[in-house]
Amino acid sequence: MNTEIERKYLVKKPVWRSHKQLLESQFPDIGVKYSQGYIPTSNGTTVRLRIVGKQGYLTIKSTAVGYSRAEFEYLIPVGDAQEMLNNLCLKPLIEKFRYKIKIDNLTWEVDEFLGENAGLIIAEVELENEHQKINLPSWIDREVKDKKYFNSYLVKHPYSKWEEK
């Protein structure tokens, strides 16, 4: 079992797009397409299926306490992942491009959402402990703690349907 300690931030879109263009000019394959879905649960546990490139993943996460939660992740055949995405997961699926960027020995994951969540850009950083100091990149806007920014929430309440953004 791993413990995920993660913080989420909204991204300044114009600053991020300039930074992304620079990154893509140096690393053309930096953005990776993700397709993911969620199997409904009734106890606060998150069960996620994901396809990244040609690999499938099954991930189970506990309810968050502060910034932390238990996380179990397993490789599964991509065919099984696709079958579960098609037949077991809530719709719409989450589609996004993810950019992984190393800054100060931390890996930032910036997600640019597609489809019904297009327009939303969120950056996440995983930490070693909840009190770890972070130097925020220039493209970070503000921290978000609201569950509405969780991918599992976006399946049920897509960004395109939000009244207040």
Q: List Cβ neighbours of 41 (8 Å cut-off, separation of 6 or more).
A: 47
pLDDT confidence of residue 1: 66
Q: Which domains does the chain have, with CATH numbers?
A: 2-161 (2.40.320.10)
Q: List Cβ neighbours of 110 (8 Å cut-off, separation of 6 or more).
A: 11, 16, 20, 98, 99, 101, 121, 122, 123, 139
pLDDT confidence of residue 13: 93
Pair 50, 71: CB distance under 8 Å: no
- Taking the alpha carbons at both ends of the chain, their separation in whole angstroms is 35
The residue whose two tokens read 């140096």 is 26
pLDDT confidence of residue 32: 94
For the annotated catalytic residues, the residue numbers are 38
pLDDT confidence of residue 162: 95
DSSP type of residue 65: B
Q: What are residue 19's phi and psi, to 5 degrees?
A: -65, -40
Is a pLDDT exceeding 80 seen at residue 99? yes
The residue whose two tokens read 């190393």 is 102
Q: What is the pLDDT of residues 43-60, one digit of tens each?
A: 989 999 999 989 999 999
% of the chain at pLDDT higher than 90:
78
Q: List Cβ neighbours of 163 (8 Å cut-off, separation of 6 or more).
A: none
pLDDT confidence of residue 4: 82
CB atoms < 10 A from the CB of 86, how many? 12
